[in-house]
């Protein structure tokens, strides 16, 4: 549980609210239960008051991946205690909440239903409006809670376990898809390669750690679609190439061989992400890049993007490290920024739906 004082410097009219507005955000799209409370007043920036996160990673690790039914059941167990804790940490009461936001999609249907159900029930009991938020919009706007927030317009590189997309972002709710993966996501490529290296699930961070001792040039791995001329990605072939190398190394590879393969895999993924991001910036003529999603925590990716952007005269922004992975703060923030920007008018509702598949560029 954390107290927080980060703030988003996106200003807006506040959609008619005259008092300090408190938004409770609930994230439950996959294997993390996240709850957060943000607030703003008038022309003020959105501030994160407190947030809490419960990760189910250990539970799913035993199965080598997320088990949807177990995920839903665990969200049910965690969400209300987390909400209580967040309100206590923020020094607020449930009655102070003006708007409840929840992740409407994309994600696991059952897991989403838990957050949506709890969010709507809470809002109904308080006689307050409720808002379903796009998970990727949350990721995309999360750098607005950092100490170095971006300014619109920018190119966004969204790199999570389920998505790899380049977006042109003109403002809140103004998203144009520039390119995306045609098969595995970057996080999936990290996770599947990590699994082949015996690093458990999700293995992105573990692979990055092992890679620190390795030589990124030791194995010549493919950079799929690097020269495709467009902004799409493909990572399925990389996983197959890693599998081939693992088989070649046999039953007991040396620690150095494993580290070299981890480093070479990471280098291949990072190389493609960096080069396509720079191409997106060139093609769109924009000079600001925002990186979001779990893979955005990767140190090599950050270092290489920093270097490439410095050379190109581009400013690059990341979420705070603890807000890279799924969390409730980004959901509360996205709801607040949508309301501020006049993109959405939250309403009282006794019904809800979820959207397990939902394209970000389809929302307005």
Residues near ligand KG4 (CB under 6 A) are 30, 160-162, 187, 190-191, 202, 204-205, 208, 293-295, 297-298, 325-326
d(CA 362, CA 364): 7
Q: How far is the CB of 136 from Zn ion (least distance, A)?
A: 7
297 binds, among Zn ion, ligand KG4, none (CB under 5 to 8 A by kind): ligand KG4
- Between 97 and 185, name the residue whose CB sits nearer to Zn ion: 185
74 binds Zn ion (CB under 5 A): no
Which tokens belong to 302? Answer: 């950050």
224 binds, among Zn ion, ligand KG4, none (CB under 5 to 8 A by kind): none
- Binding segment for Zn ion (CB under 5 A), chosen from 73-81, 140-148, 324-332, 340-348, is 324-332
- Between 129 and 161, name the residue whose CB sits nearer to ligand KG4: 161
Cα angle at 16 between 40 and 47, to 5 degrees?
A: 10
208 binds, among ligand KG4, Zn ion, none (CB under 5 to 8 A by kind): ligand KG4
Q: How far is the CB of 112 from ligand KG4 (least distance, A)?
A: 12
Q: How far is CA 146 from CA 9, 49, 84, 362, in A?
A: 9, 13, 25, 27
With a CB cutoff of 8 Å and minimum separation 6, the contacts of 48 are 4, 5, 6, 7, 36, 37, 38, 145, 329, 332, 333
Q: Pick the closest to residue 141 from 355, 14, 331 (CA basis).
A: 331
Site for Zn ion in 143-162 (CB under 5 A): 160
149 binds, among ligand KG4, Zn ion, none (CB under 5 to 8 A by kind): none
d(CA 214, CA 257): 8
Near Zn ion by CB under 5 A: residue from 326, 330, 332, 338: 326
Q: How far is the CB of 292 from Zn ion (least distance, A)?
A: 9
Which tokens belong to 176? Answer: 């144009």
Interface mask (CB under 5 A) for Zn ion, residues 101-140, using x and -? Answer: ----------------------------------------
Site for Zn ion in 41-70 (CB under 5 A): none
Q: How far is CA 309 from CA 23, 85, 290, in A?
A: 34, 40, 11
Q: How far is the CB of 135 from Zn ion (least distance, A)?
A: 6
Q: How far is the CB of 202 from ligand KG4 (least distance, A)?
A: 4
d(CA 72, CA 94): 24
- Binding segment for Zn ion (CB under 5 A), chosen from 20-28, 106-114, 240-248, 318-326, is 318-326
205 binds, among Zn ion, ligand KG4, none (CB under 5 to 8 A by kind): ligand KG4
Binding-site size, Zn ion (CB under 5 A):
2
d(CA 157, CA 185): 12
**Residues near Zn ion (CB under 5 A):** 160, 326
């Amino acid at each position: 549980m954390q107290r927080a004082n980060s703030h988003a410097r996106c200003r807006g009219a506040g959609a008619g609210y005259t008092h300090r507005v408190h938004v409770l955000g609930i994230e439950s799209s996959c294997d993390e239960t996240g709850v957060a409370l943000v607030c703003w007043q008038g022309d003020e920036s959105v501030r994160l008051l407190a947030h809490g996160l419960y990760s189910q990673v250990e539970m799913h690790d035993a199965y080598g991946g997320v088990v949807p039914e177990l995920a839903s059941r665990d969200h049910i167990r965690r969400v209300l205690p987390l909400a209580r804790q967040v309100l206590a940490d923020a020094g607020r009461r449930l009655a102070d909440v003006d708007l409840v936001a929840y992740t409407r999609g994309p994600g696991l249907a059952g897991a989403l239903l838990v957050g949506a159900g709890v969010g709507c029930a809470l809002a109904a009991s308080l006689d307050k409006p409720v808002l379903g938020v796009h998970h990727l919009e949350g990721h995309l706007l999360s750098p607005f809670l950092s100490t170095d927030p971006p300014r619109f317009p920018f190119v966004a590189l969204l790199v999570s376990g389920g998505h790899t997309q380049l977006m042109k972002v003109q403002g809140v709710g103004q998203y144009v898809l520039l390119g995306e993966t045609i098969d595995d996501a970057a996080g999936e490529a990290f996770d599947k390669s990590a699994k082949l290296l015996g690093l458990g699930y999700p293995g992105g961070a573990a692979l990055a750690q092992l890679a620190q001792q390795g030589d990124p040039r030791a194995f010549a791995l493919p950079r799929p679609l690097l020269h495709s001329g467009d902004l799409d990605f493909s990572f399925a072939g990389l996983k197959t190439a890693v599998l081939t190398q693992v088989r070649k190394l046999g039953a007991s590879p040396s620690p150095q061989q494993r580290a070299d393969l981890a480093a070479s895999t990471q280098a291949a993924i990072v190389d493609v992400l960096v080069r396509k991001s720079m191409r997106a910036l060139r093609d769109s003529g924009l000079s600001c890049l925002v990186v979001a999603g779990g893979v955005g925590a990767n140190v090599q990716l950050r270092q290489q993007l920093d270097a490439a952007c410095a050379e190109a005269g581009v400013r690059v922004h990341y979420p705070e490290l603890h807000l890279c992975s799924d969390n409730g703060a980004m959901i509360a923030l996205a709801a607040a920024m949508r309301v501020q920007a006049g993109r959405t008018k939250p309403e009282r509702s006794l019904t809800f739906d979820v959207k397990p598949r939902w394209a970000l560029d389809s929302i307005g």
